[in-house]
Amino acid sequence: MKRLLALALLMLFAVQSIAADSEQEQLKRSIIKIYTTAAAPDYFNPWALLNPQQLSGSGAVISGERILTNAHVVANGSYIQVQRHGDAQKFRARVQFVSHEADLALLTVEDESFFEGTRPLALGKLPELQEEVTVYGYPMGGKSLSITRGVLSRVEHQYYAHADSYLMAGQIDAAINPGNSGGPVISNGRIVGVAMQTNHSQGAENLGYFVPPSVIEHVLEDAVDGVQQGFPELGAVTQSMESPAMKAEAGLSDDEEGALVVKVFADTPAAEVLKPGDVLLAVDGYPIASDRTVEWRENQRTNYHYAVDLHHVGDTLPVRFSRHGEIHKAQITLAAPPPSRSLVLSEQYDQRPRYYIYGGVVFVPLNMNLIKRWGNNWHSKAPIDYLYARNQWSDTKHRELVVALKVLPAAVNLGYHDWKNWIIDSVNGQPVPDFDTFARLMESNQQPFVDLRDEAGYRMVLDAAAAREQQPMILQTYHIPQRHSQGLFSTLAQKDSGD
């Protein structure tokens, strides 16, 4: 009898082991390797592309015959292919939806047979701290699937490396190497994150970060109608109130906490509710501590923007705030943020640079794409004026900065051949609020000279007739196909079509 029982137990364990192996193999089948040919624009020569790069990443099959991966895996991709675990064949894929802000993208495959034999992985809940998770992906250095285990060690807001956005992120004590990006973080057979970066700063080793379920769910919901709205903004800038003197001056009692409102953007619905000097006490029912954090899970805290990030554009957000010691409650309708609140537009992908050439001078808007062309050490190598502008807010008078990037030497620009990276403040005395306005001012000029000045009063004067006359020769000499970026504005496009 004992032998029969032992035999039955052995058979049961064998069946369970076979079932587990089968489940594991089925899961592996849903982990995808992604090959991307990326041709990024050259912001030093905005009419040209940099040499194409061959990149690889990872992804996972989810519902709707889609592949979930990182946005940076397919950014600026001109040709994308995908490959299943254990298969030699590669299939052509395209981007269906992308959120560079959340570093997430959804791919579709032209050949529907690609998904045969795969099972879409479901999204799960974020595990508790110290729970084990598994990262699947295809790191550089080999073609086979890699499986790495680690424990969830931290969950809080972080700056995402791809677009410098500030969102919730999970941290695990396992290295996420190049090529692993976009691979799923799995717990109990469900996706609980998307691997996105490795932190090599300050001597940190064997640490990896991933996009958590709350951010993934937001992007998947945003993708339903195919219109990318992103994460809404509250419309207010705050600072911590850990100083007892600051709390007392704002009219808070010793046991009251909150975040001090230091700026409210005039073009947001928040301007109808909040004022500088108010103290934000709670958002969507989450009490805000003096360090601007909320308890999003028992004994776990993160920035109060977590409560905002759970919502979508057009949702109403309940807020509680103090003004001169009096408590108020209100509803704020969340709006889509502009491309940038800074004078320097954040890094953009999947689009060509804007530029305008006049008299051999190449003019561009200042943005992070240009600044990062100085390489990994752009923080110290980029022009100091560019770096300083990153800390300035844009407004109606200055929405973006215009730069004379460089001069293509010609007779018309004699005396300025060594000018570069020069920020322009006015055209013939007219202030320059943004790049499109600048181009229109230049194109519509009827004066014999174009007088460009910077904020300090330094000038560049160009002969308008000579600029028009020499323009074709300058473009031909320097092998430039167009004197401005495509679609800069309709009047220029129409004028060029008649040239």
Q: Which residues form the catalytic set?
A: 72, 103, 181
User: Residue 110: left (phi > 0), alpha (psi -120 to 50), or beta?
Assistant: alpha
Give CA–CA dist 47/44, Å, rounded: 9
Give CA–CA dist 137/178, Å, rounded: 10
Inter-CA distances, 249 with 133, 277, 279, 289, 427, Å: 47, 10, 11, 17, 46
Residues 258-265: contacts with CB within 8 Å, 24+ apart?
258/282, 258/288, 258/290, 258/321, 258/322, 259/288, 259/290, 259/292, 259/304, 261/236, 261/237, 261/321, 262/237, 262/238, 263/236, 263/237, 263/393, 264/235, 264/236, 264/237, 265/235, 265/236, 265/341
Residues 437-445: contacts with CB within 8 Å, 24+ apart?
438/356, 438/363, 438/402, 439/356, 439/363, 439/484, 439/488, 439/489, 439/492, 440/489, 440/491, 442/356, 442/358, 442/363, 443/491, 443/492, 443/495
Name residue 449's beta-bridge partners. 463
Residue 6: is it exposed, middle or buried by C-beta count within 10 angstroms (0-12/13-18/19+)? exposed
Give CA–CA dist 192/59, Å, rounded: 13
Q: In what order do the strands lie in the sheet with 430-431?
A: 430-431, 426-427, 449-453, 459-463
Kindly provide the residue ranges of all beta strands, DSSP E only, lying in 274-315, ordered along the sequence.
279-283, 286-287, 293-297, 300-303
